[in-house]
A and B are shown apart, each in its own frame.
Chain A
Amino acid sequence: MNATLRHAGWVLRGNPVTAIAATAMLVLVGLAVAAPWIVPYDPVVSDVSNALKPPSAAHWAGTDQLGRDILSRLLSAARLDLAIAFSAVGISFVAGAVIGALCGYAGGALDRWTGRLVDVLMAFPLFVLAMALVAALGNRVENIVIATAVINLPFYIRFARAEVSVRRNAGWVEAARAGGEGRFSIVLRFLIPNILPAMAVQISLNLGWAILNAAGLSFLGLGVQAPTPEWGIMVAEGARFIGTGQWWLVAFPGLALMLAVLCFNLLGDGLRDILDPRMRT
């Protein structure tokens, strides 16, 4: 554990970009987790007398058309959006890694059929597929998670399958078999841990994408519903006020969205270096 931390420290010192992204990530996650306790105002209680006020000392990011504090709403929204992204990517990673690794190791009919299914899934425009899923399953947060997980799944399956099939005849896999390990535990305990570093990049990129996806669905009125604070809804609602000069309604949620996605994307490469034991010396 200590060695891992030391190694992480070394990677971060060598890659200032990763270090900045990691710090920003930690701050963002910290703020999101602490949101209910640190927000200066209740994010859903309206105060019409204070509506559409520009950023000030009292309201750092201004107020919206119902007089709600935008900063409080941003922080509460971060909590929801990150939760959606993490759980959706978590589901598709676990399911995708297991399915893909099993296919890559077993080959044969299982591999062929799964491959075709994945092809079919990928033939749909993915965002439209997600919209259809949410529309069919109902406008609930769980369904956004499910839809986002489903459209990410094919990438994980393909990735895990490819990474496992180059390793399945490696000496250490044969050695594990000679050491009495069965097929399933070879996949779960030997192969999947070894493809983790490569998958970390995919996970990180996907997190950014999942946030965009959730925000996009809400922007279109699917999924999370007003008045729940959510970045996509905030942008959608704020868009009506751009023409009249109340820029802060869209600018701040848009900025938050952009920074979050950027962080995840920048983090990817560094994460792989941290997770790969061979990078340690």
Chain B
Amino acid sequence: MSGSLLAVRDLHVAFHTRGGVVDAVRGVDFELAPGDTLAIVGESGSGKSVTAYSVMQLLDRSARIKQGQIVFRGEDITRAAPSRMKALRGAAISIVFQSPRTALNPIRPIGRQVMDALSAHEDLSATELRARALELLEAVRIRDAEQRFDAYPEQLSGGMCQRVMIAMAIACNPALLIADEPTTGLDVTTQKTVMDLLARLIAERNMGLVLITHDLGLAARYCRNVMVMEKGLVVERAPAVELFSNPVHPYTRKLVAASPTFESTVQDLVGAPPAAPVVRPHEERGTPLLLDVQAVTKRYSGSPVVDQVSLTMRRGESVGLVGESGSGKSTLSRMICRLIDHDGGSVIFDGQDIGDVPARDFHASPLRRDIQIVFQDPHESLNPRFSAFDCIAHPVRRLLKLKDGAELRQRVEAVADRCGLPRRLLPRFPHQLSGGEKARVGIARAIAVEPRLLVLDEPTAALDVSVQAVVLKLLDDLRRDDGLAFLFVSHDLNVVRMMCERIVVMRRGTVVEEGASRELFCAPRAEYTRDLLASIPHFERRPSLAG
């Protein structure tokens, strides 16, 4: 045991809540040698974060470590005194949190925050502190660190903020680094640079890493060993290479299957039989395009967010819109939905220029029901005071002018059935539903009025990978069986490839590449598309840190 950096033995953690005692972690064992890397993989509620937080004693007040032992460098820290933990935190064990923007103090310059992290454990003069902080900022590859030293978090990008967080975490050369979903919310190319940096720093400084993630690709690429958790239990642990090539436990198999890869189809993700090819509704010659966006522009305070973008869609066609945050894809999709006005160009839907009606009056337009949208975050897109039934019934009441009664109820129930939402869940409020159930309510609401164009704004970005698989399958069925036209907005190229016939890649408000999904994937023309494709973490490849 003397050789291990961190040993967690038979850890049980319970939360005392209104509903009674909830066991979040039920017997977790693992050991980490100095310089070793371990990924804890699981979906929300699996107990992966709770396990890591117990090591740091950063648990919520309602949580109790019921039994088990946490040993760090031979010292039992399971119930260490706060003063002892204070000495360890930052100096010997550090943590990098999810969402760097909220983890940094918004009113203190970033350089100062790095200095604070240093001075908490080391007795240095102000000039030495500053010099060390600068070194650290340079080590995490912040360009022009000298100038950026006095910048505030909101002046930096998300990736940059995460690098500052990493600089703070490694400031005192800790022996163990815990990274809790360090790249969730970052773009895929940023994710790659941040993770590469983290991997390099860890190797250079011989730190132990516990990476908590829901992303199997990330775990495989950056960690030697992987531990899979489900409902507070460790279901499988193995070296990364083995685990993904030969998963043993059914849950791991399900997770591996549900993760989109370069080759998978939507049917593969959920283990369904291959689907028949899409049958496009018959189009007569001369029927106008379903959607014809011509050189639309949107400016925010002078600078264009979407700059002269054109896009066409035929009836029943599914088009993917891909790009990183700030590429203008969400703005474009909202202009197409007529939720915001454009500053130039035109949006022609089925031969009619719908730009004539201001966005704020478009709710009364007869075309409102034809263009519907599924929003990014299912948690945030349902009215907290509406039951699932009311959420779905709302557009039916407003747009189809159906009064309360049997007809409305039938329609809502039919669409809930179509979306795989059990009828008994209809009276529930959003907070009483799981993420996947809320996503179904959001989709049911959008298709309840039988639109002709469905805009999907990152519909699965906030969902666990197995839930994402099921929701994608549902969407794919809607596309195939009901002939709905999809505009699928996403930052995830793999997902878009599976769902769409054609892909449009956007960057900084303009279209950089457009083409059929297969060709775009096999032979990307734009360099940016190649970068995007190369950044997708993948578990078929050999992990870079293994061996």
Binding site for B on A (CB under 8 A): 10, 170-172, 174-183, 190, 193-194, 277-278, 280-281
Contacts and interface: CB of A to CB of B under 8 A. Distances in A.
A179 B382 CA distance: 12
B376 interface: yes
A170 B395 CA distance: 17
Nearest to B383: A172
A194 B446 CA distance: 22
A82 B369 CA distance: 49
Interface stretch (B33-41, B129-137, B279-287, B360-368): B360-368
B130 to A, nearest CB: 37
Interface centre among B371, B384, B432 (most CB of A within 10 A): B384
Contacts of A180: 363-364, 368-369, 395, 398-399
B384 A175 contact: no
Interface of B: 18-19, 334, 337, 339, 360, 363-364, 368-369, 371-373, 375-377, 380-385, 394-395, 398-399, 429, 431-432, 442, 445-446
B383 A181 contact: no
B399 A179 contact: yes
Contact of A179 (B19, B385, B432, B445): B445
A224 B431 CA distance: 49
23 contacts: A170-B380, A170-B381, A171-B375, A171-B377, A172-B384, A174-B375, A174-B381, A175-B381, A175-B445, A178-B339, A178-B368, A178-B372, A178-B446, A179-B398, A180-B364, A181-B363, A181-B394, A193-B385, A194-B384, A194-B385, A277-B431, A281-B18, A281-B432
Contacts of A170: 380-381
B44 to A, nearest CB: 17
* Minimum-distance CB pairs A-B, first 3: A171-B381, A179-B395, A180-B398
Given A171-B376, A176-B394, A281-B19, A182 B384 contact: no
Nearest to B369: A180
B507 to A, nearest CB: 24
Contacts of B383: 172, 175-176, 190, 194
Contacts of B442: 175
Nearest to A196: B385
A172 B398 contact: no
Given A177-B363, A178-B372, A180-B364, A171 B380 contact: yes
Contacts of B377: 171
Contacts of A177: 339, 363
Given A175-B442, A183-B360, 12 more contacts: A170-B380, A171-B377, A172-B382, A172-B384, A178-B368, A178-B372, A179-B445, A180-B364, A180-B368, A180-B369, A181-B363, A181-B394
